[in-house]
A and B are shown apart, each in its own frame.
Chain A
Amino acid sequence: MATSSYPAPESPLRSVYRWADERLGLADLAAFAAHKRVPQHAHSFWYYWGGISLLFFVVQLLTGILLLVYYRPGKEAFESVRQITYDNDFGWLIRSAHSWSANLMVFALFVHLFSVLFMKAYRKPREFGWWSGLGLLSLVMLFGFSGYLLPMDQLAYFATKVGLQIPGMIPGISGMVEDLVRGGPQVGEATVQRFFALHVVILPLVFLPLLGFHLYLVQKHGNAVPPGEARKPAAERRTIPFFPNFLAQDLAMWLIALNVVTILATLFPWDLGKMADPLAPAPLGIHPEWYFMSQFQLLKVVGVIVPGFGGEIAGMGLFGAATLFLAAIPLIDPDSRFGRRAKIAAWGGALVMIGMIVLTVWGYAAL
């Protein structure tokens, strides 16, 4: 017989939630999400690009794991990619999605980088967000470089060969590049094996914690408001709740991004060239991926102006200076009080961006 000492029966879902909540503190999380708000203004669009980059990374992770199931580094590298592309069900789709999403991720990251720069979201207290972001971008480019070799077809082989000559020119480390990265005097099986280890173990091992750190900081400091917006009186500033409104918009962006990847991967699948043959003549117009094009072109141009060894040093020096400048931006312009320094940061950033675009276009035009 039921007595009044029993509590009212709970729905099963509710009791599962309560069970988990008691142990994990879910209610705190829900309360936190309910309070978190995202600023809404004319430039809010740029807030989405970090999330879009993150989505592409998730796509990379998932498709990468699937590729790992069939990919075999070393001697059979080319053959295994051939099988993935031409024999395994939907292998071509997964591989194409991986390649397209990699390119789109780099693109989204550049957009994210420069939108953060121009919205001045690197200012105190967000310096570490900026630095960790730069670190993530560099790692992503390394992901790109190492991944490009893995199919071991003609183009991968020659692009990597040319790409490795650049660090190989720096005096002092050229021997190290040979031993450590290339695994011998020539790009070959050993290189693929090394790049594979780099691509699927070492880089993710560094990348994931850094990503966690970056996201933690974003979470801690919230979205930065651009200076123009911050000057407005509080009553005029609008915010929307993170949950569900901003998340719903984020979701919409992700859906669009996912569709873009799928449509590109299905309509323009990534083909596979001929098997790499070190003895074959290098194909004409060999060039790196588009996101290395500006550096490549910079070295070429400076090399023409300053011939010989000095040119290489000068080119690398310029590239290094631009990178250092980007990294130093939060130190140059830490605070909204510094009008002149804010200008240096903004104009310097614009110069870097325009320089990269011009060099990239120039690089393609000069092929």
Chain B
Amino acid sequence: MDTAEHDLIVETFRKAMTGSSGAALDAALDELGWADLLAEEPDTAIPVVFTLLGETGSHASVLNDVVAQAGGEPLGTTVTLPFTGGRWVRWERADAPAAQPPSEGAGDLLDPTLPLRLAEPGDPDLHLAAARRALGWWLLGTGRAMLALAREHALARTQFGRPIASFQAVRHRLAETLVALEGAEATLNAATASPEPFTCLLAKAAAGRASLDAARHCQQVLAGIGFTAEHDFHHHLRRTLTLDGLLGSARDLTRQAGAHIREQGHAPRLINL
């Protein structure tokens, strides 16, 4: 795929995600040929679609498709997925209760817009590598969205007669955020180039950690306005925490990585020149 084609795909999907979310976006993605793209060009489909979900703040149930494809199952099904703390969830292919007229249980979850539902334990042998990588891209996109909001605010907001972007403490928090996100992106690219389960696990851990760091720094830079429900920031914060927990949190996965190198007595060099 050449750059022009790639850019076209990005723009097309971005437009779809800016206009819709949830079940409507699922339908829009179907129409745009998501299933074919995932089958034929997974290394484009997954980074593009999942990063854009993060950047635009919209959501779709496409994670099910990535898991289904990895397990050789037909697309369009719903898979029970592990969540941190030994819990299991299903990502429904419908709108979240909270997005519909108020019903019992609405607002039970941190991110009430997601159609997530607690479920009975599912298959412990699911192939999660590709889905972890996908969630990593989503977390990266969410982190970038928060950085963009904080950067914009830092340049616009004036205190003590100058933009807060001129204060070194503010600048360094945003720099720290960029470092974390760029580092995570490098691990995600590595997991795309060599998609072994361990490389994907590390990429999800790095992206979860980076997005959590982004949330902390950007919240501080946005200060009061970022604490209001009127500002978009809190949606991304909720998304970050929820996606981090899905398929193993940064903390869980980092511990697993540590156990792995301890048991092997070896720290694998997963990427080589």
A binds B: no
